[in-house]
Each structure stands twice: as structure tokens, then as C-alpha cells.
Amino acid sequence: MRGERRILRIGGVPNEKQKQFFSSRSRYTAYGGARGGGKSWALRRKLVGLCLRYAGIRCLLVRRSYAELKANHVQQLLSEYGGVISYRESEKCLYFPNGSRIYLGYCASMRDCLRYQGQEYDVIAIDEATQLSEHQFSIFKACLRGVGDVPRRMYLTCNPGGIGHAWVKRLFIDRHFAAGENPADYAFISARVYDNPVLMDADPDYVRQLETLPKRLRDAWLHGRWDVFEGQFFPEFRRETHVVRAADVPRGLRRFVAFDYGLDMLAALLVGVDERGDFYVLREICRPDLTLRMAAEAVVSLCEGERGEYAVASPDLWNRRQDTGKSGFEIMQAVRGMPPMQAADDRRIAGWRVLREYLNEESDTPHLRICESCERLIESMPLLLSDVNRPEDASGEPHAVTHAPEALRYAVMSRCPSWEERDEVDRNFRFLHNHNHDDRFF
């Protein structure tokens, strides 16, 4: 009726971390980091509060699949606010009496993302943001716009792991920003199950289940560690073990180059090998948008001042190009100073197994170390994911973190003896070392 005023009492008391989330004024606010922190409850409360405060605003609530969205949010919203909110399944929208709306979205594939191009929303909430790629996230960022005196905000919940782990970690945990990204726009509020007394009181068994998980899962799910997570392909990689200063690299290494080339990225590594076959990654170049000739020139610059004995690269560079009739190998090898090129042993699973062996520690001394200046490789190794269908193979997503590890796989496979042969080399080296010989094995 006209003139009738309705009062809606919203129940529940937020914990301290949820209060921080509610009070955030950053353009992009991420909340979570571990399981059981009360992320979903807080996200729903935030959206409802904004819709009630600002009449006529357009909100978008997104999850990877619509089925997950209905199960985790729609049913709860209707249960709590059914007397005020109306829901139209055909339009996938929740309506408020003051004209505000919450549109329900999903983004399981890039095709789904195309539906949002050109759309405008005042507030966007992405639940489980690490399940989306950075490109999908960028499409939603472009939708955060409009007219009127309404704050434009994006809210994300997240846990370690998933295809979006790398970009969420970069922006909200490591705070490494690219050109055009304003650090003041990004805020992260860490929450663990211990910050959620409601859940701990209601279900203490849940906490005990998390506490008894295997160490790697416990670190990610209970403690919210972003350097270990479910699906990590190289759990063996540890910065404190595998990363060294340039001053700690031994002399007398024989050097070569390994690179993975694509128009989206060249990842090239200058690698040194000692007399026992241990690897040291000395330098890297990771650059996008290079032609074949430009990529070869970058490889030459990587070897400046060093004697690169050869360059190992993906076998597809030996395929002839239809536009020129030449192969990528011919174009790159013609660049002055390019080391002699050879096609990599591109067996994926076998190559990853060998690389994993080099990462394994023996008496606290791994067979592969990376100089601290090789930032892209160091960043990519712990972010590489397992393929969900072939766990022994690395996933192709997120694509941005695959290039440097692929180049490293080419490197170890280019000098890979059998492990029986390697053991014989180690025994011979120890014998000669103990008898003060100068012979070198390679």
C-alpha cells in the first residue's frame, strides 16, 4: 500500500574478519584464503545490504556454474529474505521492492563470458574467483561501470588452487601490479575457520577434519597458504631449497639455451650444467608478441658474454610455414649469433618425470637450482597445475605460467642420461674427487 513502510530485520552477527569485509571501500576486495571462513554468508549479506541502501542498482552474482550458484546462494537468499526478495527463474534475477536487482551469472567457459560483454553493473560479486581465468576476470572488470552516484565495487571470495590461483595471488597476495593497475584499488582480507566462531561452535568436527588432512592440503585449506594448494603439479619445488644467489653458482659450467616459443610468449632459459650433470638456471628472458626473428635476437642477447653450446626448442619449429615456405628453425638459425638449434625431446609425461627427479632432494642438495634473478620461472613453478584428466601431465591452464616450465622440461631432456648412467657418473666423480684427479665428466 502507498505510504506503507516495511522494516526488515537482518539477523546474524558478523565476526571481525567479516566486519572488515563489510567496511572495505576498495574497488576490488577479495575475501577468504582458507575453508570455513564464512565467505558465502558475508558475500550474500554484502549484496543484500547494498541493494537495500541504493535503490535501483544492478548487481551481478557470478560462480563457475549456475547449478553451484543456485545451491550455494539462491536457496539461502530466498530462505532468509523470501518476504522481500522475489525470484524469476526464467530471467535468473532476484528483485527488490526498491528496484534493485541481483542478476545471477555463470562462467564455465569463454563462450559464457561473451554474454557479459557490453553489459553494465554497479556491483559484481564473484564467488570462488580462483575457478576463473584472468581473461574471464578482465571481462567482468570491464562490466563494472555505469552512471549515477553509486559506488562501483567488485567483491571476490577465493581459496588457494584452481586455474585462477596465479592472478588472484599476484593481485591480492603478492601485490605485483601491471601497468594500469592501481594498487589502491585492491584489498585482501584473510579469513580462516578459526576466525569463524559460529562454524567452530556449530561443527567442531569440521575443524578436526581440516586439522587431520595431509600436510599440503592442511596448509592450503586450514591455514590458507598460497604457496601450496590442491592440484599443484610440483609440490617438491621450494624457494628456500631450489633458488640460489648468482654468487653461489659454481664455476666451470657448460652452458646452453632452452626455449619455448609462441607468439603469446617467448620463454628462454640460459642453463649451466656441472661435471655431475646438476643444472643451474642462470638467466631468463620472457617476452610476449615477438616474431621468430625477434625471438632469435632475444635468445642471442640472453647468451651475451657466455658460450652457449646449443639451443633446444620445441620440435614444431621444424615445420615449414605456409606463408614463407621456411620453417621457424630456418628463420631463427639464420640470425647472427644464434647457437646451433636442436629439436627438443617433447615427451610430456616422461619429461615432467625427469624434471621431478631433478627437483627431489638428496641429502638436502637437489640436482636443479635457479638463480634468484629468474623471477618468471620461480613464480611459475609452484603455480603449475596438474591436468585434471591426466594427473601425470601439467595442465595447459593458466597458460601464462606454462611457458617457462616447458622450457625447463626441454632443458633437462636435452641432457638426460638414464638414472643408472647418472649413478655411475656420480660414483666415478666421487672416486676421482677423492683421488685428486682433474678429469671432468659430462
Domain boundaries, the chain: 16-221, 239-426
Cα 290 to Cα 74, 315, 322, 333, 398, distances in angstroms: 47, 18, 19, 16, 20
267: three-class secondary structure by DSSP: strand
pLDDT per residue over 324-378, tens digit each? 778 999 999 999 999 999 999 999 999 999 999 999 876 567 899 999 999 999 9
pLDDT of residue 267: 97
Distance from C-alpha of 181 to C-alpha of 214, rounded to nearest angstrom: 37
pLDDT per residue over 212-258, tens digit each? 877 777 877 788 888 877 788 998 898 888 999 999 999 999 999 99
CATH architecture of 16-221: 3-Layer(aba) Sandwich (3.40)
Cell of 78: 530466498
Work out the mean pLDDT of the chain and round it to a whole number.
Answer: 86
Q: Residue 381: which residues within 8 A CB-CB, separation 6 or more?
A: 234, 237, 242, 370, 404, 405
Which portions of the chain are predicted below pLDDT 50? 1-2, 418-422, 424-442
Under 8 Å between Cβ of 429 and 416: no
Q: pTM for the complete prediction?
A: 0.69
239-426 under CATH 3.30.420.280, yes or no: yes
